[in-house]
Chains A and B, each alone.
Chain A
Amino acid sequence: EDQVTQSPEALRLQEGESSSLNCSYTVSGLRGLFWYRQDPGKGPEFLFTLYSAGEEKEKERLKATLTKKESFLHITAPKPEDSATYLCAVQAVGNAGNMLTFGGGTRLMVKP
């Protein structure tokens, strides 16, 4: 059974204080790893897809990286508007429906 564990559950940062969120996964064969951002009262918003170990993707202050066992979402010099819950999900090889298994999320709070 595919499993995704995210840590920490919650993270408080001061504006400008860089940090990383972790996503550890167990899957029979990884087809893709996804990062989403979710704001309160809204649906998850797609950020990145990573397909192979060593791959990196960047978007503004966010950079996602992937190894064979985990993914990191690095946040550089965060701003209050980066406050949200960040969700990680995996898609397994042979998963005919490309179904996603989500982790519990990391709630990020950035204080000005």
Chain B
Amino acid sequence: DAGVIQSPRHEVTEMGQEVTLRCKPISGHNSLFWYRQTMMRGLELLIYFNNNVPIDDSGMPEDRFSAKMPNASFSTLKIQPSEPRDSAVYFCASRLAGTDTQYFGPGTRLTVL
């Protein structure tokens, strides 16, 4: 049974470049969450979707960040332009309707030089 899939696992880019992170939730799950993890701030929720619709994006740090979920099996988190302070591990998590548990993917480690 495949869990949450994220790609790429590692991304190194230069400041000013566009970065796109991808997530495939567990099949049948209808809620999807994007988190960012850093040593200083821990695990922070950026945005979450319910049935492909963005519900709360109050955690998105600024307009350089955007997220989409075009269908139930795919979501993207885009940073444009990227900055060194965006360096972090980005996690995607999904949840089945009617349950409370979120299941996390392996994460994407982003380094912006």
Q: Which residues of A pack against B, CB within 8 Å?
A: 31-32, 34, 36, 41-46, 49, 87, 91, 96-105
Number of interface residues of B (CB under 8 A): 22
Known: A43-B106, A102-B43. A96 touches B55 (CB 8 A): yes
Count contacts between A and B, CB distance < 8 Å. 49
Contact of B107 among A43, A49, A101 (CB under 8 A): A43
3 interchain residue pairs of minimum CB distance: A43-B104, A102-B43, A104-B42
Evaluate contact between A34 and B4: CB separation under 8 angstroms.
no
Q: Which residues of B pack against A, CB within 8 Å?
A: 4, 31, 33, 42-45, 48, 50, 55-56, 91, 93, 95, 100-107
Contact of B42 among A36, A96, A102 (CB under 8 A): A102
16 contacts between A and B (CB under 8 A): A32-B100, A36-B104, A43-B91, A43-B93, A44-B104, A49-B100, A87-B43, A98-B31, A99-B33, A99-B48, A100-B45, A101-B45, A102-B42, A102-B44, A103-B42, A105-B42
